[in-house]
Amino acid sequence: EDIQIPCPKDASANIIEIIPNKIITKHIVEKVDSENGHFQPSIKKDQLKMAVIERHSSTGNIGLGIVKGFGLTSGAIASTVAHDSHNIIAIGTNDQDLLKAIDVLKAMGGGLVVVMDDEVIASLPLEISGLMTTAPFIQINESLKEIDKALVEIGFSGNFNPFLTMSFLALPVIPELKLTDLGLFQVKDFKHIEVIQ
């Protein structure tokens, strides 16, 4: 229930559209799919669910939104590298994989993870504040190669780094639309807005 976005049938939504290799985003409005009164991610429309979960003070804050431009066809990705607050940030094609990715991050003390069909297919633990590791370079490099392979497995074919791009989607001082643990943030008017119009 915590990651559901209430959404009536035939609704339009405020969506974060990424611009490959840039940290600015576009604010677009599109019709979205709904099921049982909740937003349903669409691979066909490239509308994926995104969550930003506060992880430092046990506030319970969960910001939810919709992102376009990642082109994933299955699974989910999640990370604790999310400028500037470094909360958990996750993007998924379905709730099961999204939740699995979030749970795995918690269990490993932070890092990067790729999940498909409720299984971890690649990860990089960052046990120091979810941002750094004491692991040797060679091991980190191998983990990053595995992550790249896993991204292809879940359908990624873009010419940008999805984890790097995702890490800036929670930074609410860079236009046009971002997601914080308090919700969707419109930078132009410097205020939170509803996901579903």
Encode pLDDT of 46-103 as tens digits: 999 999 999 999 999 999 999 999 999 999 999 999 999 999 999 999 999 999 999 9
Distance CA 65, CA 15 (A): 7
User: Which residues are CB-neighbours of 136 under 8 A, at least 6 positions away?
Assistant: none
**29 - beta bridge partners?**
14
At a CB cut-off of 8 Å and minimum separation 6, what does 58 contact? none
**End-to-end alpha carbon distance in the chain:** 20
Residue type, 60: G
Predicted confidence (pLDDT) per residue in 148-189, tens digit: 999 999 999 999 999 999 999 999 999 999 999 999 999 999
Given a contact cutoff of 8 angstroms between Cβ atoms, the answer to whether 16 and 50 are in contact is yes
- Across residues 137-158, what is the average pLDDT? 97
Q: Indicate the DSSP class of residue 159.
A: S
pLDDT at 158: 95
The structural domains of the chain, with segments of one domain joined by +, span: 12-193
